[in-house]
Amino acid sequence: MALLNFLGAIQQVTGSCYLIETFDKKNILLECGMQQGGDSHENDNDNNDNGKSNGSAFAFNPEHIDAVVISHAHIDHSGMLPRLVSEGFRGPIFATEATCELMELMLLDSAHIQEKDAEWENRWRARRGKKAIKPLYVSQDAERVLKQRKPVSYEKRVEVVPGVHVTFADAGHIIGAAIVKLEFAEPNDSVRTLVFSGDLGSTCSPLMKTPAILKHADVLLLESTYGDRDHRCNEETLDELVAILEQADKDGGNVMIPAFSVGRTQDILFHLGRFYQEGRLPQHTVYLDSPMAIRANDIYFRHREDFDEENRAMLKKHNIHNVSDWLPILKLTPTPEESMAINNVKSGAIIVAGSGMCNGGRIVHHFKHNLWREDCHLIFTGFQARGTTGRAIVDGVKSVRVFREDIMVGAQVHTLGGFSAHAGQSQLIEWASHFENRPELHLIHGELDKMLILQSEFKKRLNWDANIPELGDRIAL
């Protein structure tokens, strides 16, 4: 009988990690995610990690791991892979094709950030006569991860270690995101099935399909990010966005949209493209000022066969092959020079840039030129975690500190709900209700208060008892 250890994303949303020990002593690591931020819902897209607790030792010996399975490329699900490899893991890493492509982008970027952070910290330490620190991992480690990837198509059943098979189903969260089914052959020839929901997409996010329905599992691990509520997701949110863009046009300034590079940015560009196609976009230029998001766009379009049917048909009908066909006023600014040139644009532009919570990235540069101006607008479309600059602005601070300078918040600030890339409460329950045999249910990837609400809803609506595991808990599969 296989055993499952709950090692990460337990009563919190980041650091996804589960260790499975099979009856014949093989070790499979399901997820190898990085811990991010403080208490956050959806900071899974950007590499704006503060390194907190990622430095402590793994709860296992990486040399003893035989294979890794990754649900999707977000850094809180894949970001510790370079460290796993640097500490001796040499086995295969199974993930979908798009996830494998996105991992290249995200892990190299993450390694670069680790190197830069350590460099900065060590300069500070040197001045104080302190010992230098080592980065969590370096680019070479990330490059090594890439060599160990084993891309697998959706719905293709492959062997992970002898007697254990994985099948990925579309989770509809970001491109390549998967629900993971693991089947364990038991010594008595029976099969035990573990289903891990991964991050389940919201039915309201554009481009992505509705999460695939699975009907059989013995044990189910269900994400609970929004276990406490349903999203308001309808045309209203989009009309609200158009209304803000119209107002911004009248006011005469620019519009800033901080957005995570993978997932949220592509959703926003899709919506802006739709407004453009419908003649409802008053601005003259949309700048995408994020090298990572620009590359992620290409990966999205390369995998557009995974877009939902309706949108895929529409893109086909309009002969759309990349995001610029869809939104012709889109201007990509990958280089620092191109990015800085935006500073001269005083009116009629929409600037989409990272990081999503304004703790760094190019959006901060745009604050310097736009945030203090009363004719400018700032639109938040994602959750802002406590302690971030974005959250401070949402909470109404008068000024924020940007590059050792206090910038007044003069721009009009808007927070738009309804753009979540995660399933809401009813959708989570509905999705789980399709399992025919009522598997043993464990809630993971959520804050405790939200999980407790989801747990009681499962009891109330389906009379189904859900367990909320503690960190380090171990169950038999």
**Taking the C-alpha atoms of 420, 222, 66 and 91 in order, what is their torsion angle to the nearest 10 degrees?**
-10
Q: Which residue is nearest to Zn ion (CB)?
A: 74
Burial degree of 322 (CB within 10 A; 0-12, 13-18, 19+):
middle
Any idea which residue has 């990460």 for tokens?
Answer: 8
Structure tokens at 213: 């329905």
Q: What is the Cα–Cα distance from 333 to 455, expressed in whole angstroms?
A: 46
Give yes or no for residue 44 binding Zn ion (CB under 5 A): yes
Q: What is the Cα–Cα distance from 468 to 446, expressed in whole angstroms?
A: 10
Q: Specify the pairing of strand 285-288 against strand 349-353.
A: parallel
Cβ of residue 77: shortest distance to Zn ion, in angstroms? 6
Asked if 284 and 351 count as a contact pair (C-beta separation under 8 A), the reply is: no
Q: For Zn ion, which stretch binds (CB under 5 A), given 191-199, 378-386, 400-408, 427-435?
A: 191-199
Nearer to Zn ion, 44 or 97 (CB): 44
Q: What is the Cα–Cα distance from 241 to 271, expressed in whole angstroms?
A: 9
Asked if 342 and 366 count as a contact pair (C-beta separation under 8 A), the reply is: yes
Nearer to Zn ion, 74 or 181 (CB): 74
Cβ of residue 254: shortest distance to Zn ion, in angstroms? 30
Cβ of residue 218: shortest distance to Zn ion, in angstroms? 25
Nearer to Zn ion, 44 or 66 (CB): 44
User: Which DSSP string corresponds to 164-204?
Assistant: EEEEEEE-SSSTT-EEEEEEEE-TTS-EEEEEE--SPPPTT
Give yes or no for residue 422 binding Zn ion (CB under 5 A): no
- Angle at 364 (CA atoms; ends 103, 290), nearest 5 degrees: 35
Residues belonging to the chain: 477
Cβ of residue 420: shortest distance to Zn ion, in angstroms? 11
Cβ of residue 201: shortest distance to Zn ion, in angstroms? 9
Nearer to Zn ion, 74 or 83 (CB): 74
Q: What is the DSSP letter of 7?
A: E
Nearer to Zn ion, 33 or 62 (CB): 33
Write the CB contacts of 88 (distance below 8 Å, at least 6 apart in sequence): 61, 62, 63
Nearer to Zn ion, 414 or 422 (CB): 422
Q: For Zn ion, which stretch binds (CB under 5 A), given 56-64, 69-77, 242-250, 360-368?
A: 69-77
Q: How many CA atoms lie within 13 A of 310 on its CB side?
A: 7
Give yes or no for residue 41 binding Zn ion (CB under 5 A): no
Cβ of residue 59: shortest distance to Zn ion, in angstroms? 22
Per CB under 5 A, the list member of 11, 14, 34, 74 interacting with Zn ion is 74
Nearer to Zn ion, 265 or 370 (CB): 265
Cβ of residue 79: shortest distance to Zn ion, in angstroms? 11
Nearer to Zn ion, 200 or 432 (CB): 200
Beta strands in 239-284 (DSSP E): 255-258
Give yes or no for residue 21 binding Zn ion (CB under 5 A): no
Give yes or no for residue 31 binding Zn ion (CB under 5 A): no
138 φ/ψ angles, rounded to the nearest 5 degrees: -125, 170
Cβ of residue 210: shortest distance to Zn ion, in angstroms? 16
Give yes or no for residue 264 binding Zn ion (CB under 5 A): no
Q: For Zn ion, which stretch binds (CB under 5 A), given 117-125, 151-159, 195-203, 250-258?
A: 195-203
Per CB under 5 A, the list member of 31, 141, 170, 199 interacting with Zn ion is 199
Q: What is the Cα–Cα distance from 380 to 268, expressed in whole angstroms?
A: 11
- Angle at 428 (CA atoms; ends 427, 431), nearest 5 degrees: 80
Cβ of residue 423: shortest distance to Zn ion, in angstroms? 12
Neighbours of 324 (CB within 10 A): 16
Q: For Zn ion, which stretch binds (CB under 5 A), given 44-52, 95-103, 251-259, 440-448?
A: 44-52
Give yes or no for residue 274 binding Zn ion (CB under 5 A): no
Structure tokens at 474: 């171990």
Give yes or no for residue 414 binding Zn ion (CB under 5 A): no
Give yes or no for residue 170 binding Zn ion (CB under 5 A): no
Give yes or no for residue 42 binding Zn ion (CB under 5 A): no
Give yes or no for residue 306 binding Zn ion (CB under 5 A): no
Q: For Zn ion, which stretch binds (CB under 5 A), given 43-51, 57-65, 129-137, 210-218?
A: 43-51
Q: What is the Cα–Cα distance from 242 to 226, expressed in whole angstroms?
A: 26
Cβ of residue 71: shortest distance to Zn ion, in angstroms? 8
Q: How many residues bind Zn ion (CB under 5 A)?
A: 3
Contact positions vs Zn ion (CB under 5 A)? 44, 74, 199
